[in-house]
Amino acid sequence: MQIPAHLVKELRERTGAGFSDCRAALVEAAGDVEKAINILRKKGQAAAAKKAQREASEGLVGHYIHAGGKIGVIVEVNCESDFVARTPAFQQLCHDIAMHIAALDPRYLRREEVTSEMLEKERDIYREQARATGKTEQVVEKIVTGKMEKFYEENCLYEQHYIRDESVTIKEMITQAIANLGENIAVRRFVRFKVGEVSGAAGSTVETASA
């Protein structure tokens, strides 16, 4: 199947995947760019799963300063080798993640790091709100489950939708980078500072060693 060059170019710009991978995905998707994006994501997820157990002890400390020096972010992103850490693609990933943190101020790195106390507190609030509308308990629990997913999406970095492309989450963006660069990649920790904010720095510092 002949794939127009402009479709390959569009897919590369939207996913960051290589030329051959984009062309193959478009052939499999019969020229449908949206379907090709999903194909690349699935392949990226499979590649990331295979590499998830590999040690990522190299990497970079990225940073981003915003709003005339009023907001600053420092983020450590790990990979497996110094070679990959020095590539423009990895450096851009670090910058993009730092910029995203500056904009959306996540409270946690992953959903697994939210404390049980915080989860129960949020569930209680959502449960009372749903009950106040007169819903049955079965419906109330479904509403609570939906709102908890929204809580993760709003507060956990890996669950948040990337500020410059809301069709992908930060986790999916990292997964695609793993597929493109061929190494395990993970955000280890970050800190966000805002001028005049006392609790922001401590509340936004996260550490993890897993991918």
Rounded to whole angstroms, the maximal C-alpha distance in the chain is 59
pLDDT at 76 (0 to 100):
97
The 3-state DSSP class for residue 126 equals helix
| Domain 115-153, CATH class in plain words | mainly alpha
Q: Cβ(175)–Cβ(48) under 8 Å?
A: yes
Q: Where are the domains of the chain?
A: 5-51, 58-111+156-203, 115-153
Eight-class DSSP state of 129: H
pLDDT at 56 (0 to 100):
81
pLDDT at 50 (0 to 100):
65
Q: Which residues contact 59 (CB under 8 A, 6 or more apart)?
A: 76, 77, 78, 79, 85, 90, 185, 188
pLDDT in tens, the chain (211 residues): 788 888 888 888 777 677 888 888 899 999 998 998 888 877 776 666 666 667 788 999 999 998 789 999 999 999 999 999 999 999 999 999 999 999 999 999 999 999 999 999 999 999 999 999 888 888 989 999 999 999 999 999 999 999 999 989 999 999 888 888 888 999 999 999 999 887 543 334 444 333 3
Alpha-carbon gap, residue 28 to 26, rounded angstroms? 5
CATH 1.10.8.10, domain 5-51, yes or no: yes
Fold match flag (5-51 vs 115-153) = no
Give backbone dihedrals phi and psi of 158, rounded to 5 degrees, phi first: -65, -25
pLDDT at 210 (0 to 100):
39
pLDDT at 49 (0 to 100):
65
pLDDT at 180 (0 to 100):
85
Structure tokens at 187: 């955000």
- The DSSP line for 40-76 is HHHHHHHHHHHHTTS---EEEEEEEEETTTTEEEEEE
Architecture (CATH level 2) of domain 58-111+156-203: 2-Layer Sandwich (3.30)
Q: Which residues contact 196 (CB under 8 A, 6 or more apart)?
A: none
Q: Which residues contact 167 (CB under 8 A, 6 or more apart)?
A: 37, 161
